[in-house]
Structure 1
Amino acid sequence: MASSGAARPLEEQSLPFYHRKHYYPVRTGDVLKDRYRVIAKLGYGAYSTVWLGWDDRSKQYASLKICIRDDTKGSPVLNEVAMLQRLSRFAQEADHPGLEFTRLAQDIFHIDTPTGPHYCIVTKPQGASIRTLQEVFPDAVLPKLLVKSLIHRLFVSVNWLHATCGLIHTDISPQNVLMDLEDDSSLKDIEEQESQDPSTPIMSQGIPIYRSRATMLELSGIPILTDFGQMRPAQPENRDWWMSDLYRAPEVLLQLPWSFPVDIWSIGVMTLELLEGKNLFDPIDRTNDQYVLPLALAQYIGYLGPPPLEIIKQSPLFLTYFDEKGNWISDPPIPQASLEDFVTTISPGKEKDAFLRFIRKILTWDPEIRATSVEIIPDEWLMKPWDEKF
């Protein structure tokens, strides 16, 4: 029997902007579109809940991302649907190795309700996110060979998005990269668990809230780039404040035009995070949970050196934080920092030198000289074996 009462918030209920009327009241056993049978809940987020389903037509498991009802202008839900439809068209036109590492929609439909439609995005089920994977490794440090495998393939995915589709992901982070499942064994386990011990929802004002079942942690080394709610076309020009706080490219920070290179930057920052178990930049006021722009600028200067004068002169922030010669005049002070000191999981020597060359191609103030995916895919550090063990 479903429980009720004033229990602690469960899963999506705990989110800051949760509103029960925005979420579709999914129940295990529901059949959607006369085709997809809901087996168990896999996860949740601000814009959706995700469920393991069974496709009665293809006789395969499916991931069902059931989105909140949101028809507002600029809605991430509507944007993701539009971007996935666009990606599907490009995927049909020509083959590309990046397709293997990009999560495309197999079906998109909407569920009509009295309060409005809810989109459902059907995809191939995948494993846990890299963020979840980090949680099981000591100090959140992933094996170097695994990192190289993941990052190399992410650049291949991004190459397809950029070169073929003309699209910028803008939100690449460990949370938005899933591990590919090698087979269906973990999905069968979830279905068996649900059969033997059915999930009991908590009822909240008539809305069922289920607890998610964990997916298997995979070490396949095959990443699947997902979550396209923040994706943007490269044209018309983008210039607004965008991207996740810890992965924000400097051109966005300086309120300059931005395009494909912001994705390259994000992958570079993510590479360091996976190797070292911590973020390169942390410009957050933890007391007030606020992003601090001058703190971000100071940290970027600490690791990258001062920005080129010709770059910052174009920024509306120029004379707020710099003098006319490009010297930093704001608080906080520039931290004493270097990439050499930040990287500790690669021992000094030829490999570390190669890695620093690799990362410096990516972490540049000037997006025009930042390496493209085509230039970085064959990089020596990514491709050369360095007597590694995994």
Structure 2
Amino acid sequence: MKFEFYCICKIRRSVSCLKSKVSPSSRSRRNVAKPLPDDARKRERGRKRSHSREASKKKDVRRKKKRSKEEEKLVQVGDTIHRRYDVNRVLGEGSFGHVLQCDDRQTGRIVAVKAIKPLDRDNYRNSSRHEMNVLVKLNDFSKSCKNSYCIEALEFFEWNKLYFIVFPKLGDSVFNFIQNNKYQPFSVGQSTSIVHQLCSAVKYFNKLRLCHTDLKPENILFVDSAYEEIRQDNRKIYRRILDTQIKVIDFGSATFEDEHHSRTIQTRHYRAPEVVLELGWSYPADVWSIGCILYELLTGKCMFMTHDNLEHLAMMERIIGPIPKEMIRQSPKTSLFYKGRLDWNTSSSDDQYVRKHLKPLGQYWFKSFDRQFRLAFDLIREMLVYQPCKRLHIQDAFSHPFLQSVDVQC
């Protein structure tokens, strides 16, 4: 009797284990990251988990060796760097190091100083040298241009086993402004100005045969982020930026045409489909990012709020349409497709989320009576074309009616 009971229990455990390993719909149902709601709290948390190529490389270094307390605080408030820069505030911290607000004893100006990780770490050293090289070339080339819309490096130096880059002190990033404004969108006119400058910057990069590879609202700073408060309906208050002049920052991941092209670039939310599908990339990848940024300026929402390749592509199909067959055939990411189509479960809760929170670009165009708003979404449509060869060229963007009202300054 005991032996029979033992056999029955063993059989039940085996069947249970088998069921857990095999699902009748395992081909169509995948373990994808749960999509984040579009409220500010989840959005903010989602942004912190997104990483560009450079951040991913640095994560591997952190796994090999834990950072000491001294490295966690490279330079502290109250320190004086290089007998010249008095640190009075930490502006930001990241995997690369710290960005510090300092008083320049020599000029009396307030500057932003980027302190990069200790020199005995090869990845950080190579990355910082690369960024310095890019900034030097940008500075030299900018002499022949009225406005490059790129941050200017004032000084480079090594001190106390750290690399430092000194920049002019600018205002808030576009992302921080949206965040502090409770995700209120910018006006169409302000969006036009910001995107025109961003396109001018990318055109400038292309003249140098350079791709930024990490364009996003966090890497676009206002020169002056002063604002006025607008009362709406006698209740709601939002901020209106007074000056939309911008500068593009963070060239740590920028890549020249003749350099090695990493397989993965760009922060997830602004990543082009050719990068997701590992088909190789070039200048059009930056144009895709601009299209995503313009959408965010006009709506206050991130277009592709996801952390999963499959869900990302499903969102693209919802907004833009089916992925071209030739891209599917050429992609080495075969696990994302089944019988020539995206392997996405259209009856899942994930798909319900995608359909609820995202809509085709054409619906924005047809439902708006504002001509400039419609033109903006027409420009987004031309920038968010799957095939890089058919995507709007950055030079042609200035001929689009949405941007023609602004004079090109570069």
TM range (shorter): 0.7 to 0.9
Deviations 1:105-147 (A, max 9, x none): 11111222xxxx2111100000111111102334331222211
Kindly indicate whether the alpha-carbon contact (under 8 Å) linking 1:248 and 1:266 is maintained by their aligned counterparts in 2.
Answer: yes
C-alpha separation in 2, matches of 1:182 and 1:304: 33
Kindly indicate whether the alpha-carbon contact (under 8 Å) linking 1:272 and 1:280 is maintained by their aligned counterparts in 2.
Answer: yes
Among residues 14, 30, 46, which one is paired with 2:79 in the alignment?
30
2:363 maps to a residue whose letter is D
C-alpha separation in 1, matches of 2:141 and 2:70: 39
Among residues 92, 113, 117, which one is paired with 1:68 in the alignment?
117
C-alpha separation in 2, matches of 1:318 and 1:79: 32
Closer/same/farther in 2, CA of residues 60 and 329 from structure 1, 3 Å limit: closer
Match of 1:41 in 2: 90
Deviations 1:308-349 (A, max 9, x none): 2222221112474142xx4334435675530133579x8235
Match of 1:340 in 2: 362
Among residues 169, 173, 176, which one is paired with 2:219 in the alignment?
176
Query: What secondary structure, in the 3-state scheme, does the structure 1 residue paired with 2:345 have?
Result: coil
Shift of 1:99: 4.6
Among residues 130, 140, 147, which one is paired with 1:82 in the alignment?
130
| 2:157 maps to 1:104 | no
Kindly indicate whether the alpha-carbon contact (under 8 Å) linking 1:264 and 1:362 is maintained by their aligned counterparts in 2.
Answer: yes
Deviations 1:250-305 (A, max 9, x none): 0001111101111111111011012111122223xxxxxxx221111111111111
Closer/same/farther in 2, CA of residues 342 and 139 from structure 1, 3 Å limit: farther
TM-score using structure 1 length: 0.74
C-alpha separation in 2, matches of 1:86 and 1:48: 19
C-alpha separation in 1, matches of 2:217 and 2:73: 27
2:361 maps to a residue whose letter is L
C-alpha separation in 1, matches of 2:335 and 2:74: 52
Q: More helix per residue: 1 or 2?
A: 2
C-alpha separation in 1, matches of 2:132 and 2:240: 26
Match of 2:324 in 1: 308
C-alpha separation in 2, matches of 1:35 and 1:224: 25
Query: What secondary structure, in the 3-state scheme, does the structure 2 residue paired with 1:368 have?
Result: coil
Match of 1:11 in 2: none
Shift of 1:73: 4.6
Matched ranges for 1:268-347 at <5 A? 268-283=291-306, 291-318=307-334, 320-323=336-339, 326-332=340-346, 336=355, 337-341=359-363, 347=368
Among residues 245, 269, 279, which one is paired with 1:246 in the alignment?
269
Deviations 1:176-226 (A, max 9, x none): 11110389xxxxxxxxxxxxxxxxxxxxxxxxxxxxxxxx99631011111
Shift of 1:100: 4.0
| 2:257 maps to 1:234 | yes
Match of 2:184 in 1: 140
C-alpha separation in 2, matches of 1:347 and 1:150: 21
Structure 2 runs not aligned, ≥5 long: 1-47, 50-58, 227-238
C-alpha separation in 2, matches of 1:60 and 1:141: 33
Structure 1 runs not aligned, ≥5 long: 1-13, 184-215, 284-290, 386-390
Among residues 201, 212, 223, which one is paired with 1:157 in the alignment?
201
Query: What secondary structure, in the 3-state scheme, does the structure 2 residue paired with 1:383 have?
Result: coil
1:143 maps to a residue whose letter is S
Closer/same/farther in 2, CA of residues 69 and 311 from structure 1, 3 Å limit: same
C-alpha separation in 2, matches of 1:142 and 1:167: 29
Query: What secondary structure, in the 3-state scheme, does the structure 1 residue paired with 2:92 have?
Result: strand
Root-mean-square deviation over aligned CA pairs: 3.0
Shift of 1:36: 2.1
Range with greater deviation from structure 2 (139-148 or 335-344): 335-344
Match of 2:393 in 1: 372
Among residues 207, 214, 221, which one is paired with 2:244 in the alignment?
221
Closer/same/farther in 2, CA of residues 47 and 217 from structure 1, 3 Å limit: farther
Shift of 1:25: 4.2
